[in-house]
Amino acid sequence: MGDRMLIVMKEQLESLNALTINFGTGGMFIVNIILAFVMFGVALGIKPQTFKDVFKNPKSVIIGVCSQWIALPAVTFLVAIALNQWITPMIALGMILVASCPGGNISNFMSSLSKGNIELSVSMTAITTAFAPIVTPFNFFLWGSLYSHVIAIQNDIPRLVIPFFPMLEQILLLLGVPIFLGLLFARYFPNATKKITKPAQVLSILLFIGMVIASASQNWQIIVDNIIYVFFIVLLHNACALATGYFGGRLAKLPIKDCRSMTVEIGIQNSGLGLVLLFNPVIFQPEVWHQHYGGMLLVTAWWGIWHIIAGLTVAFLFRRKPLPQQEQA
C-alpha cells in the first residue's frame, strides 16, 4: 500500500513537468519591468542607517545572516535528499531556489507582532536583499549542482548542469541595477521616497499577484491535481526553515527576542523573487531545463502563500508567551 502511494505521488509530481509558462516576447519584457519595479520598491525601504546599526549588535546579525545564507540552503539540501523517494528533482530544486532567496519584507511586520527584535529583522532583510543579486544565484548554483550530482549517482541518471555565469549576469542586471537605483533615489530624494515607498510596494504586490494569476490560468488543472502533494512538501520545508532560525539563535545563545526574529525572518522567504526569476527564459533557459521546471514553479508559488499563514501563526504563538523578565522593555 505504501509503495503504491509512493508511485502515485511520484507520477503526479512528474506530471508537473507539463506545466509551462509562455508570456511571449512582449510579456517577458513586462515581467522584467515588474521585477525591476519590485526590487526598486524594496530598495526604497532600505536605509543606510540600517547597515550602521549592524555594528551595535553584530553577533545577532552575523548569526542571523549566516543562518539565512548558509544554514537554510544546507538544511534544504539535506531535506531534499531525505525526501528523494517521494519527490521529483524539479520539486527539490524549487525548494533550493526558495532557500536561496532573501528574507521577505513582511517578516519585519511579523517580527514586531511576535515581540521580537525588529531592528535585527530589518537588518537581516536589508542585508540579504542588498546582496541577493550575488548570493541568490551562487547558493542556487552551489546547492542545486550538489543535489543534482548526488541524485545522478543514486539513480544512475545524467547530471543536470546549472549554468552559473549566465544566471549571475542576468540576475545582477535584473536585481542589482534596480536595487542600486533605489538606494540612490532614497539617498538623494528622501522626501519623495517617504511619499512613494508605500504606494510602490503595494503596486508591486498587486502586479505580482496579477502575474501569478495569469500564469496559473494557463495550467489550472495540473495545479489542482498536484496541490495536495505540494502542500505537504512546502509545509515540511517551511517548518524546517522556521526551526533553523529558532534553534540557530538558541544554539548561539542569543536573547529570546532575537531568536523570535530569526525564526520569522528565515521562515519568511522572498519566494516571489524566485517565481519571477523562473518566469524569465534567459535565466532559466528552455534548452537547459527542457521546459521541465513546472515543479519548481508550483513549489515556489505555494511557498509565497503558505509562509504568510505559517509566519502569522508562529508570530501569534510567540506573542502569547511572555518574554523573560530581563528582556521586557
Which residue type, as a one-letter code, is found at position 109? F
At residue 120, the pLDDT reads 85
Sign (positive/negative) of CA torsion 208, 303, 221, 290?
positive
Instruction: Tell me the DSSP string of 249-279.
Output: HHHTT--HHHHHHHHHHHHSB-HHHHHHHHH
In this structure, what C-alpha cell is assigned to residue 270? 522572498
Highest mean pLDDT pick, 128-137, 149-158, 190-199: 128-137
Provide, for the chain, the percentages of residues in helix, strand and coil under a 3-state DSSP scheme, each rounded to the nearest 5: 80, 0, 20
Which residue type, as a one-letter code, is found at position 285? Q
Comparing 179 with 22, which gets the higher pLDDT? 179
* Whole-model pTM over 0.95: no
What whole-number distance in Å separates Cα of residue 90 and Cα of residue 94? 6
Nearest alpha-carbon partner for 238 in 298, 300, 194, 284: 300
Comparing 296 with 4, which gets the higher pLDDT? 296
At residue 158, the pLDDT reads 64
Check whether 99 has a pLDDT greater than 90.
yes
User: What angle do helix axes 72-82 and 220-251 make, rounded to 10 degrees?
Assistant: 130
Domains of the chain: 2-321 (1.20.1530.20)
At residue 326, the pLDDT reads 67
Instruction: Tell me the DSSP string of 46-103.
Output: --HHHHHHGGGSHHHHHHHHHIIIIIHHHHHHHHHHHTTTTS-HHHHHHHHHHHHSPB
Check whether 7 has a pLDDT greater than 70.
no
What whole-number distance in Å separates Cα of residue 120 and Cα of residue 310? 20
What whole-number distance in Å separates Cα of residue 78 and Cα of residue 109? 30
Q: What is the mean pLDDT of residues 306-312?
A: 88
Q: What is the mean pLDDT of residues 87-103?
A: 90
